[in-house]
Amino acid sequence: MVGGQMLDLIGENEEFDLGTISRLQRMKTGQLMCFACEAGAILGKAGEPQRKALKNFAHDLGLAFQVTDDILDVEADPAETGKPANQDDNAGKSTFVSEMGIDNAKERAEMLIGQAVRHLHIFGGRADVLRDLADYVLGRRT
């Protein structure tokens, strides 16, 4: 996470390509979500296939969360989000939206959420709350 934050700070002065943006966000939000899911799996004494599935779910979910966050920064109503619009652009940061455009960023978020949910197939209905979380991430407005 520290490495991701370092890249984030560097990104205020340098333009990043899509690969670097993805790496940065996987190292930050993705790692945070990954730790939470993997720690839960460890505490729940999950086997290796379940741990791997949760880790993969979390990485995709974290990246989708960031793509959605970039979309909200451009599209959302500041009264609804509680923060000013276009903060990333004003700070000169490269984002998924600035690199891909808004429509492609939306498609990427949907693809990542679909991929994240597919990782949960081994859990059946026991992962419904995680599927609901994925739906929330895609549809969130704040």
Which residues have C-beta within 8 Å of that of residue 40, sequence separation ≥ 6? 54
Number of domains in the chain: 1
Distances (CA, A) of 124 to 36, 78, 90, 119, 134: 20, 38, 44, 11, 15
Per-residue pLDDT of the chain (142 residues; tens, 9 = 90+): 899 889 988 988 899 999 999 999 999 988 999 999 999 999 999 999 999 999 999 999 999 999 999 999 999 888 888 888 999 888 889 999 999 999 999 999 999 999 999 999 999 999 999 999 999 999 998 8
- What pLDDT sits at residue 57? 97
State residue 12's pLDDT score. 84
Q: What is the pLDDT of residue 76?
A: 87
This prediction's pTM: 0.92
- Which residue range is the domain that position 17 belongs to? 2-139
CATH of the domain at 17: 1.10.600.10
For 59, phi and psi rounded to 5 degrees?
A: -60, -45
Q: How far is 38 from 42, CA to CA, in rounded Å? A: 6
- Packing angle of the helix pair 128-139, 102-118 (nearest 10 deg): 180
Q: How far apart are CA 117 and CA 134, in angstroms?
A: 7
